[in-house]
Structure 1
Amino acid sequence: MSADTEEHGADAPGGDAGGANGAGGAPVSPRALARRRRAEALRRFAREYTRNRAGLVGLLALSAIVLLALFAPLLVDQAELTVTGAPGAAYEPPSAEFPLGTDNFGRSVLDLIIWGSRVSLTVGFLATVVSVVLGTLVGVTAGHFGASGGPAGRVVSSVLMRVTDWFLVLPTLVLAVALAAVLPRGTGTIIIAIGLTVWPATARLVRAQTLAVEARPFVERARALGGGHTHVMAWHVLPNVMPVVLAQTTLLVATSIIAESTLAFLGVGDPTTISWGGILEAARTAGAISSGIWWYMIPPGLAIAAVALSFTLCGRALESVINPRLREQR
C-alpha cells in the first residue's frame, strides 16, 4: 500500500471504520493500525491474485518444482549420479526402472533432472537478486536525483542512465559469456555474470516509477519537513516502487534460469555441478542428437521451459494485481 494512500485513508469521511478506535471505542495505537492496514492490503492482494487462473497454475507448478529441488537429497542417491556409481547401462530407453531412460554413463536422466533443479533454481534466484538489487539502486538513485537533485543531481542521474544505456546496447549473451570465460569457473561466476548483464531493464523500469512517485504530494511534504535524500529514497520512494520490483523479479528469475542453461550448454558453466543446461551440453557432446537419444535431450529442455513459463505466469499475474488497468483487461 502506498504512503499517500495510507495518509488519506484515515482522513476520508467514514473511510476507516475502526481507524482510530478499536472494538468498543478503545483507542488503537498507530502500530496496531498500521499492522491492520497491512493485513488488509495482503488480503486484498491474495483475493486479486487467486482470481487470475494462469497465475494460480504458475504458482502451483512453481511450488511443486521448488519442493522437488528441496527434497532432492531424499529422492536421489548421490552415489548413483557419479560415473562410477551409475546403476544402469548406457542409453537405456525409458522403462519402469528408469522412467526417463539413462545417459551415456548409465545414470538415470530423471535423477539428473531432479538434482539439476537445485543448481538451476539457485543460480536463477541468486542472479536475480544481484540484478534486482543493482537495478533498483541505480533506478531509484537516478530517478530521485533527476527529479529533485538540482543541477548536480541531474548530472548524476544522466551519468547513471548513460551507463545503463551502454549495458542495454551490449549483447547480453556475449557479455555473459565473456565474463564467465574471464573469471574463475564456478557457480558464483555464473551468478555474477548473469546478474551484471540483466539489470538495466530493471533500472529503467524503477527509474520511471520513481519519477512518478517523486511527483506525489507526500514526497513534497517530506522534503518540506526537512527530509534528506536518503530519508526520502528509503522511506517514501522505495516502498512505493517495491510492487513493481517484485513483479519484475519473478520475470527475471525465468530469464536468469534460461541464461544459466545457455551458458552451461555453451560449455562455460561449472563443470563440477549438475544443472539442466549442463545435462543438455553433455547430451550434445555425447552425440545424443545424431544418435536419436531423444530422452537425453527433451526432458531437461522441458524442465527449463516449465520453470520459465511458471515464473512468467506468476509475474504476469502480479502485474495484473498491481496495475488496475491490466485487471480490467483480463
Structure 2
Amino acid sequence: MTEPVEAPVGHASPRALARQRRRHSAVRFWKQYRTHRAGVLGLAVLVLFALLALTAPLTVGSDVQSVTEAPGQPLESPSGAFPLGTDRFGRSLLGLLIWGARVSLLVGLLAAVLSVAIGAFIGITAGHFRGRYATVIMRITDWFLVMPTLVLAIALATVMSRSLGTIVLAIGVTTWPTTARLVRAQTLAVESRPYIERAKALGGGHWHIMSRHVLPNVMPLVLAQTTLIISSAILAEATLAFLGLGDPTVVSWGGLLQDAREAGAVSAGDWWYLVPPGIAIAVVALAFTLCGRAVESVLNPRLGVAR
C-alpha cells in the first residue's frame, strides 16, 4: 500500500484559505466600522440592551411578571425600592422594562429577518428571470409599496390569533417590498457583468448563478438593510402591542404602553408609567439605525466618498 502524500509545507488547503480571507475581511470591516463614531455608539447601546435582556432571568427573575405576587402597591411613584415606580398591579416597572427587552428585541430581529429573506428572494428571482415573472412580481411589490404598512399589519394581526408569531408574521410579510426593490436593482447590475455571461456559457444553471454569483454580491446590501429594518420592526411591534393586538401573556415595551393607557396614566400624570418604555423604544430604534447607516457606509465605499 502506498503511503498518503502530505500537502507541501506552506501550501494551505482551499478551506483554510477561505477561512483566512473571511478573517481578514472581518478585521478590515471592524477597522472601517470603528471610524464611525455614531455606529460605535449605537453598537455599544445595543450590546448593553442585549446583555440586560439575556441576563433578565438572573437579574430580575421571571416572578417580576406575576400579577398575584406583586411586591408593591399599584402606581407607586419612583422610590428607592422601585427606581421606576410600579404599574397598575404593583409590579416593578424597572424589572418589567428589563424583561420586556427580551420580547421587543426578539420580535424585531425575527420580523426583520423574515422581511429581508422575503425581499431578497423576490428581488434576486425578479432580477434573474425577468420577463413576465418579473413584471407580475414587481407589480405586486408596487401594490405593497403604496399600501400603508401599518394598516396591513393591523389587518393581519386582527384576523389571526394574538401571539408573538402573529406579530412577527404581520410585520415580516408587510415590510419586504423596499428590500425587494433594492436587491432587484443590485441583481440587475451584477448580472450585467462579464463573468456571469461566462458562467452561463460554461453551463451554469439558474440556481448556480443565483446562489454562487448573485447572492454573495447582494449580501452586503441585505446585511445593511437588515440592521435598518430591525428598528422599524421594533417600532411596529410596539405600535401593534399598544393597540392591543399583541400577546397579552408576555411583557413587551409596547405592551407596557398599552397597560399605561388602560390604567389612565396619561390623564393621571403617572409619567413613570409612560416615559421609560417610550425612551427604551426610541433609544433602541435609534441605535439600530446608527449601526445600519455605519454598516451601509462601510460596505458601500461610494457613500463614504459622498460624505
TM-score (normalizing by structure 2): 0.95
Match of 1:327 among 301, 304, 307: 304
**Greater CA drift, 100-109 or 299-308:** 100-109
Q: Which amino acid aligns with 2:166?
A: T
Backbone CA RMSD of aligned residues: 1.4
Pairs within 5 Å for 1:15-164: 26-146=10-130, 154-164=131-141
* 1:297 Cα deviation from its structure 2 partner: 0.1
Q: Secondary structure at the match of 1:273?
A: coil
Cα pair 2:64 2:96 within 8 Å, conserved: no
Q: What is the CA deviation profile of residues 180-216 of structure 1, one whole-angstrom value per residue up to 9, with x for unaligned ones?
A: 0001111111110010110111111110111111111
Match of 2:242 among 256, 265, 268: 265
Match of 1:307 among 273, 284, 299: 284
Superimposed CA distance per residue, residues 270-319 of structure 1 (whole angstroms, 9 cap, x where no aligned partner): 11111000000000010000000000000000000011011001000001
* 8 Å Cα contact 2:67-2:91 kept in structure 1: yes
Cα shift readout 1:98-150 (whole Å, capped 9, x = no counterpart): 1111111111111111111111111111111111111110000001112xxxx
Work out the CA distance in 1 between the residues paired with 2:99 and 2:279. 15
Secondary structure of the 2:42 match is helix
AA aligned opposite 1:241: V
Q: Which amino acid aligns with 1:232?
A: I
Which amino acid is 1:31 matched to?
A: R
Q: Secondary structure at the match of 1:161?
A: helix
Q: 1:78 to 1:35 in 2, by over 3 A?
A: closer
Counterpart residue type for residue 50 of structure 2: V
The whole-number CA distance in structure 1 between the counterparts of 2:188 and 2:13 is 33
Contact conserved, 2:65 with 2:251, CA < 8 A, in 1?
no
TM-score (norm 1): 0.88
C-alpha distance in 2 between matches for 1:79 and 1:30: 52
C-alpha separation in 1, matches of 2:20 and 2:90: 57
CA contact (8 A) 2:74 2:90 kept: yes
Shift of 1:33: 2.9
Change in 2 beyond 3 A, CA 1:211/1:281: same
State the distance in 1 between where 2:9 and 2:195 align.
29
Q: Across the two proteins, how many residue pairs are aligned to each other? A: 300
**Aligned equivalents of 2:152, 2:269: Cα separation in 1:** 33
Q: Which amino acid aligns with 1:287?
A: G
What is the rounded CA distance, in whole Å, between the counterparts of 2:15 and 2:64 in structure 1? 54
The verdict on how the C-alpha distance between 1:28 and 1:80 changes in structure 2, with shifts beyond 3 A counting, is closer
2:75·2:85 contact (CA, 8 Å) conserved in 1? yes
Which of 253, 266, 274 pairs up with 1:289? 266
Identity in percent: 63
Matches of 1:207 and 1:84, distance apart in 2:
53
CA distance in 2: counterparts of 1:32 and 1:115, whole angstroms: 42
Match of 1:197, SS state, is coil
Contact 2:88 2:263 in 1 (8 A): yes
Look up the match of 2:5. none
Matches within 5 A, 1:181-192: 181-192=158-169
- Displacement after TM superposition at 1:44 (Å): 1.2
* Structure 2: runs of 5 or more not aligned: 1-7
CA distance in structure 2 between the aligned counterparts of 1:30 and 1:111, rounded to whole angstroms: 50
* Matching residue of 1:149: none
Instruction: Give, in whole Å, the separation in 2 of the partners of 1:44 and 1:129.
Output: 25
What is the alpha-carbon distance in structure 1 between the residues aligned to residue 295 and residue 239 of structure 2? 27
- 1:25 is displaced (CA, Å) by 8.7
Q: What amino acid is aligned across from residue 292 of structure 2 in structure 1? A: G
Whether 1:202 aligns to 2:179 is yes
* Cα distance between partner residues in 2 of 1:207 and 1:227: 20
